[in-house]
Amino acid sequence: MKKTFLLFLFAAVLAAEEKVDLAVIQRIKKEAFQNSKVMDHLFWLTDVYGPRLTGSPGFTAAATWAIKRLKEYGIEDAAAHPWGKFGRSWRLTKFSISLQEPEYAPLIGFPLAWSANTNGPLVAEPVLAPLKITDNLDAKKTAEELEKYFQEQKGKLRGKIVLLAKPTDVTPMTTAPASRYSDADLAKEAEAPAPQALPQFDLEKMILPEKREERRALFGLLPLDVQAKIWEAAYDSVTDKVNQFLAQEGAVAVIVPSYNADAGTVFGDAAGTYKQDQPMAEPRIALTVEHYNRIARLLDKKVPVKIELEVRSTGDGATGEGLNIIANIPGASKLDEVVMIGAHFDSWIGGTGATDNGTGSSVMIEVMRILKTLNLKLDRTVRLGLWSGEEQGIYGSRAYVKEVFADPATMQLKPAHAKLSGYFNHDNGTGKIRGVYLQGNDAMRPVFEAWLAPFRDLGVTTISIRDTGGTDHQSFDQVGLPGFQFIQDEVEYGRITHHSNMDVYDHAVPADLMQASAVIASVVYHAANRAEMLPRKELPGPAKLKN
């Protein structure tokens, strides 16, 4: 008990050394709460310009609007920064699907991104031909399962709409679809994870651990570039091979069930590859599980079924640009030192990209507005990055980090690497901020303890040593730069909005986004004016393909 008390006291002393300007925090809160514009930002990004698929005309139009708005707030250098050719440009312009026989019924669903056109309405019979891949990361087993599927279905699919999965059981919801962290949940989140040794692997020969749980654990521990290599070799190659087989067999379209079964909501993302050197996927539709199951039951009972379908899209032959949005508020005395904030700007197409990640983008635009409106003194430059390609592999922020700071493959540092104090990210839906993940950076604990203390009465209580993944702070962290993602309440993110047709404006919570805007504006203000740069972890070595 004495030792625990001494450690707590030591941490409190360290936190007390961090200077926190409560007067400025009060001004930030007032502006963020009483004069908030965050929901107006979100309105424009979603109701007007959403969705924002990377490389699409919709993304470009939304980016043009965001740049214009930032300039209206006095951030004159806001601009689009190309990072390379992304792949196919794709934009949905018309869609309909309905059951024609045995009785007419409209069906709830949407085409997955990069689906091909139907070239007008088509009417065809569906056929149930479920494909199951046990483990994408087991290359040998995957190849065997694919070959078995191809042999079983050969000659059966011409002119058919293929149902590519087994029906999904629907069970009554016995828990609330929305949730927030309890005190017990946050206490658990604050616990350090159990120590774990990295298993043996050799990606140059695609040799991964034999045990499935070790393969899955390994994936999350690897650098982003290495993760992308594994995923492309595993999941993407399977998708490409299945699409090629269906095209060769003459299937006219594919229907898949929503990958979550929550009360009529449809979840889905990509039909196939966005790469122009691969064939485009057949028209592929995600349906609500209930409607998918109805079709499957009719087929099981040998009842004749016909479906009418139309998909119309533009941009099949065009190449989409990879674009980031970069904007700066110049520092007063340490102009070349930078504090960055960011969120991914791109989305999928089922909804309008509200909680994934219009909320994060709107919050970060609002943070820049607050800092400029209050005319706060900022010693360091504050830089905003709104990224594209996050949904396909965190491409936009990875490209930016490689160009400006360091290449993770070689870890040859560029001069700007020494000048970035830290990066702060927002990308877990509408949920208010409850704390921050340290990404293993113990030295940041007393800093965040001090910075976040004035927001404890708004629910910001938890600092976790854990890593969290799947978003753009990882691009910075993997080259040894302090990069952080905030802990956020789940709300409806996993159950209702993530990659779904319900990812729309109505599922954003205004109070949550106002709170996040105030928290992040305060963190950025204190990082920009801190006497020293933020503490860093030990610099990592080049990304390895062997262990």
pLDDT of 546 strictly over 90: no
What was the pLDDT predicted at 172?
86
What was the pLDDT predicted at 77?
97
DSSP 354: I
What are 361-371's pLDDT values in tens digits? 999 999 999 99
What was the pLDDT predicted at 203?
62
What was the pLDDT predicted at 233?
67
**β-bridge pairing 79-88 and 420-425:** unpaired
The whole-chain average pLDDT of the chain stands at 91
DSSP 221: H
pLDDT of 316 strictly over 60: no
Are 145 and 133 contacting, i.e. CB atoms less than 8 angstroms apart?
A: yes
Look up the CATH number of domain 2-88+326-529.
3.40.630.10
- Residue-wise DSSP of 268-335: --BSS---TTSPPBPPEEEE-HHHHHHHHHHHHTT---EEEEEEEEE-TTPEEEEEEEEEEE--SSEE
* Residue range(s) in the chain whose domain bears CATH number 3.50.30.30: 91-184+237-314
Look-up of token digits 């059981």: 169
Tokens of 365: 């635009």
What are 83-110's pLDDT values in tens digits? 999 999 999 999 999 999 999 999 999 9
Closest CA to 472 of 461, 462, 483, 458: 483
- Residue-wise DSSP of 30-54: HHHHHS--HHHHHHIIIIIT----T
Cα three-residue angle 264-163-155, rounded to 5 degrees: 175
Q: In the predicted model, what is the mean pLDDT of residues 191-204?
A: 76
CA distances from 488 to 29, 142, 357, 371, 386 (A): 19, 36, 13, 22, 19
pLDDT-based confidence at 37, cuts 50/70/90? very high
Are 451 and 524 contacting, i.e. CB atoms less than 8 angstroms apart?
A: no
What was the pLDDT predicted at 28?
98
Q: In the predicted model, what is the mean pLDDT of residues 370-375?
A: 98
What are 141-197's pLDDT values in tens digits? 888 999 999 999 999 999 999 999 999 999 888 888 899 999 999 999 999 988 877
Q: In the predicted model, what is the mean pLDDT of residues 278-304?
A: 95
What are 424-469's pLDDT values in tens digits? 999 999 999 999 999 999 999 999 999 999 999 999 999 999 999 8
pLDDT of 53 strictly over 90: yes
> 264 vs 372, which has greater pLDDT?
372
Cβ-based neighbour number of residue 442 at 10 Å: 10
**Within 13 Å of residue 290, how many CA atoms lie on the same side as its CB?**
11
Are 449 and 463 contacting, i.e. CB atoms less than 8 angstroms apart?
A: yes
* Residue range(s) in the chain whose domain bears CATH number 3.40.630.10: 2-88+326-529
pLDDT of 545 strictly over 80: no
Look up the CATH number of domain 91-184+237-314.
3.50.30.30
DSSP 175: S
Torsional class of 182: left (φ above 0), alpha (ψ -120 to 50), beta (otherwise): beta
Global pTM exceeds 0.85: yes
